[in-house]
């Protein structure tokens, strides 16, 4: 195996021959063998071991083992201890996720500290098959079946082409010692079940099962990439942006077949996972929206509008009496004038004595109403926006000028009747958008 490993490294990972790297070593079979192979191949590396303190004395035994291994190989060993369960409780994540977050965060720091560019892990071919089967059992798309890559950003996985069987045989041949991981997390349990009960049976189905599996992964990756190219192209053509939102023609979307697949592919990166909802949105009433964690998708007549889901901004900006200009959140100029002219979209005239300072500038909220200038009676802002055909995003961006929380001006659109200049008005203020 050493020769195969050496030629595999020369051919596919030459960067690991020229640079010092970090080797993540748990003390288990795979990472011990990898450390040993790298040493035999005269590579320059340091070992990094995480003690997750999940298995008491066993965890400490692993740590001692890796320190001893480093000593024997003549390589430095860096060790850290984590309060993994504390992280689980604080962040409400699984043990597996916690271990992953903690590990990679620490590796990253260590690499920066030592100016090391590559992290090497001991994943092997059976890991990929096990992951394939775990994901299959849970239901997955092509991403979940294509396995982990040999190379991703700074991570290198030079054992990925080798089977566990081969690794085990070579480790035994070399009389290596390693630690057995006795942990029993859910995933570990699943993996063990797959490893012990399913994979051996699968391998009996075909004499070159693992080679065939590697070929399958290759084909699936190709299909995945081709499908990604198509989605990218469609996105380039259909997603028109004004820098803030994307506007997507519904009739163009409907031409795509199979539409569910395209909706899934186009919107999943924005966090939308219920693409059936998106499908229904295409034929929903204008104004209907669906929400993902960070994005919102709105049907607006013939288009879908995709934008950030900013949450509700409740900020209010005050304008004290005497202030003649504000910049935030919108540029306004307030002047005392001697004569009223007609209101325009960007300027209104009000009776100063009807106002109660400080005025406020804020966004619209549910329940707001006003008395549109020149109309009888009051009107809900939601109704006004609807009549004006404002879409969700326009509504969200609409500022209101208020006095005592009553709407004086739907800024840039319509003034309120209650504050208008009358014959009895003594002091006229002009308020203009800058």
Comparison of 40 and 223: residue with beta carbon closer to a second copy: 223
Smallest gap, in angstroms, from Cβ of residue 230 to a second copy?
Answer: 3
**Under 8 Å between Cβ of 276 and 260:** yes
Q: Is 26 annotated as a binding residue?
A: yes
Burial of 354 (0-12, 13-18, 19+ CB in 10 A): middle
Comparison of 181 and 214: residue with beta carbon closer to a second copy: 214
Q: Which residues contact 347 (CB under 8 A, 6 or more apart)?
A: 341, 430, 431, 432, 433
* DSSP code per residue over 207-248: TTHHHHHHHHHHHHHHHHHHHHHHHHHHHHHHEEE-SS-EEE
Q: Is 27 annotated as a binding residue?
A: yes
| Residues paired with residue 406 on neighbouring β-strands, in sequence order | 403
Helix pair angle (125-138, 164-173), 10° resolution: 150
Q: Is 29 annotated as a binding residue?
A: yes
Smallest gap, in angstroms, from Cβ of residue 304 to a second copy?
Answer: 19
- Report CA 42 to chain centroid distance, whole Å: 40
Comparison of 205 and 285: residue with beta carbon closer to a second copy: 205
Smallest gap, in angstroms, from Cβ of residue 126 to a second copy?
Answer: 14
Smallest gap, in angstroms, from Cβ of residue 225 to a second copy?
Answer: 5
Smallest gap, in angstroms, from Cβ of residue 127 to a second copy?
Answer: 16
Q: Which of 18, 72, 67 is nearest to 47 (CA)?
A: 67
Q: Residue 434, SS3? A: coil
Distance between CA atoms of residues 52 and 98, nearest Å: 10
Comparison of 198 and 282: residue with beta carbon closer to a second copy: 198
The three-point CA angle 351-353-354 to 5° equals: 70
Comparison of 144 and 287: residue with beta carbon closer to a second copy: 144
**Under 8 Å between Cβ of 336 and 402:** no
Smallest gap, in angstroms, from Cβ of residue 274 to a second copy?
Answer: 13
Smallest gap, in angstroms, from Cβ of residue 99 to a second copy?
Answer: 21
Q: Is 307 annotated as a binding residue?
A: no
Comparison of 18 and 138: residue with beta carbon closer to a second copy: 138
Comparison of 53 and 193: residue with beta carbon closer to a second copy: 193
| Residues paired with residue 58 on neighbouring β-strands, in sequence order | none
Which residues would be at the binding site for a second copy (CB under 8 A)?
Answer: 133-134, 136-142, 144-145, 190, 193-194, 197-198, 201-202, 204-206, 209, 211-213, 215-216, 219-227, 229-231, 233, 257-258, 260-262, 264-265
Residues within the annotated binding site?
26-31
Indicate the annotated binding residues for ATP: 26-31
């Amino acid at each position: 195996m050493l020769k195969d490993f050496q030629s595999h490294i020369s051919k596919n990972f030459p960067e690991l021959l020229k640079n010092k790297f970090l080797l993540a070593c748990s003390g288990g079979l795979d990472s011990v063998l990898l450390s040993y192979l790298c040493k035999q191949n005269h590579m320059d590396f340091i070992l990094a071991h995480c003690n997750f303190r999940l298995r008491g004395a066993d965890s400490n035994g692993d740590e001692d083992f890796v320190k001893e291994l480093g000593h024997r190989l003549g390589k430095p060993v860096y060790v850290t201890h984590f309060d993994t369960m504390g992280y689980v409780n604080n962040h409400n994540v699984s043990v597996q996720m916690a271990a992953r977050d903690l590990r990679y965060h620490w590796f990253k720091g260590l690499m920066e500290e030592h100016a090391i560019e590559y992290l090497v892990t001991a994943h092997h071919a059976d890991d990929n098959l096990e992951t394939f089967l775990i994901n299959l059992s849970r239901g997955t798309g092509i991403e979940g079946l294509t396995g982990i890559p040999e190379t991703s950003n700074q991570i290198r996985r030079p054992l990925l082409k080798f089977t566990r069987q081969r690794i085990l045989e070579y480790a035994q041949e070399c009389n290596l010692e390693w630690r057995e991981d006795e942990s029993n997390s859910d995933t570990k349990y699943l993996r063990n079940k797959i490893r012990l009960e399913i994979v051996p049976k699968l391998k009996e189905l075909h004499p070159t099962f693992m080679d065939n599996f590697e070929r399958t992964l290759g084909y699936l990756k190709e299909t995945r990439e081709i499908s990604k190219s198509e989605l990218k192209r469609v996105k380039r053509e259909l997603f028109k942006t004004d820098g803030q939102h994307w506007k997507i023609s519904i009739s163009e979307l409907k031409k795509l077949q199979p539409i569910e697949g395209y909706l899934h592919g186009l919107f999943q990166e924005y966090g939308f996972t219920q693409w059936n909802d998106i499908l229904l949105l295409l034929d929903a009433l204008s104004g209907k929206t669906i929400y993902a964690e960070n994005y919102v998708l709105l049907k607006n007549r013939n288009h879908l509008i995709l934008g950030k889901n900013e949450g509700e901004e409740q900020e209010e900006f005050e304008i004290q009496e005497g202030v003649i200009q504000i910049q935030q959140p919108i540029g306004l100029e307030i002047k005392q004038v001697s004569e009223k002219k007609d209101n325009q979209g960007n300027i209104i005239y009000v009776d100063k004595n009807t106002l109660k300072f400080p005025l406020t500038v804020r966004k619209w909220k549910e329940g707001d109403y006003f008395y549109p200038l020149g109309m009888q009676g009051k009107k809900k802002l939601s109704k006004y926006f609807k009549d004006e055909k404002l879409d969700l995003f326009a509504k969200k961006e609409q500022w209101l000028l208020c006095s005592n929380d009553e709407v004086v001006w739907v800024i840039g659109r319509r003034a309120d009747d209650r504050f208008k200049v009358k014959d009895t008005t003594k002091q006229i203020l002009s308020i203009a958008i800058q």
